[in-house]
Amino acid sequence: MGFIQKLTDSLAKTRAKFLVKLDALIVGRKIDEALYEELEELLILNDVGAAASARLVAQLRKLVRERKVLEGHQLRPLLQEIVSERFGKPKAIELQQGRLNVFLVVGVNGVGKTTSIGKLAQHYSEQGLKVMCAAGDTFRAAAAHQLEIWGERAGVQVVAHTAGSDPAAVVYDALHSARAKNIDLLLVDTAGRLHNKSNLMQELSKVRRIIEREAQGALRETLLVVDATTGQNALSQVKEFAEIVPLTGIILTKLDGTAKGGIVLAIQEEQQVPIKLIGVGEKAADLRPFDPQEFAAALLS
């Protein structure tokens, strides 16, 4: 199965929720003010968010005027075009050759951080890079064990301490081990932090400072893992985490299990953090770079 088809299948719940209602709204109608208002309401109800929905409809109005479109059924391809354009070009994960790269992976409980790290470890190991993982989640007893299982599967070393240890100490040891062994990529797991718990968030800031101090210039990505099924709550997570650690990208997981795929548009419109990876299944290969054009086609074509 090609990835476009995989992505289309993964968005089946979102498409079923949104497209059926969209077609019922626009097919057989002339374009008028009432239609625009109903369309904006539909977008809001499908997790696109109020501000993002207003901007999308405003751009749609402009395109309709420019192209002299009159019939409602012509709006869907215009929406696909607008969504593709507003996302811009794909934002690639950054890696520097010939030196240590560090990816710090953060997020709240249960979003799939450890699993995403395992998938990344397997992917980059298969690309021929020397990869190491740091089990920085010392609060959840099973976290290090889960990461070690992924490490064995991917053939990469996992640096771990006993449960309850200082996460910063784990990261410190991992950094020094990675440099001694000429590791290309160190993937740092962190405890699932509630974005409204200041003490845990400050600890995350400490981990980031350790990385910057002990491996200057090595921190290439700080990736926030967000569960697509949480819908609008994802926006507050992005905002709160970005205030503690500068985020370079988002990993959006569980797109295949939700009808709330519209959150992709809300994140794009309301936060200045690019979605870099999406999860559309359980296999390592199902964590894929986010391509805006592919997403727009899978959602709206």
* Domains, in order of start, for the chain: 3-87 (1.20.120.140), 101-247 (3.40.50.300)
Residue by residue, pLDDT tens for the chain (301 residues) are 456 677 777 777 777 788 889 999 999 999 999 999 999 999 998 888 888 899 999 999 999 999 999 999 999 999 999 988 888 888 889 899 999 999 999 998 888 899 999 999 999 999 999 999 999 988 887 888 999 999 999 999 999 998 888 999 999 999 999 999 999 999 999 987 665 566 777 788 899 999 999 999 998 999 999 988 887 888 888 888 888 889 999 999 988 776 677 788 888 777 778 999 998 888 888 898 988 888 888 878 7
What pLDDT does 193 receive? 65
Determine the Cα–Cα distance for residues 222 and 86; give it in Å rounded to an integer: 23
- Dihedral of alpha carbons 112, 118, 123, 129, sign: positive
In the β-sheet with 185-190, what is the strand arrangement from edge to edge? 157-159, 131-136, 185-190, 101-106, 219-227, 249-253, 275-279, 287-289
* 160: number of Cβ within 10 Å: 23
What pLDDT does 234 receive? 85
Residues in the chain: 301
| DSSP structural state of residue 140 | S
Q: Where do runs of H (alpha helix) occur along 96-232?
A: 113-126, 141-154, 167-180, 198-214
Element (H, E) at 10: helix 3-10
What pLDDT does 1 receive? 47
The candidate with the shortest Cα–Cα distance to 231, out of 267, 207, 200, is: 267
Query: What are phi and psi for residue 130, nearest 5 degrees?
Result: -85, 115
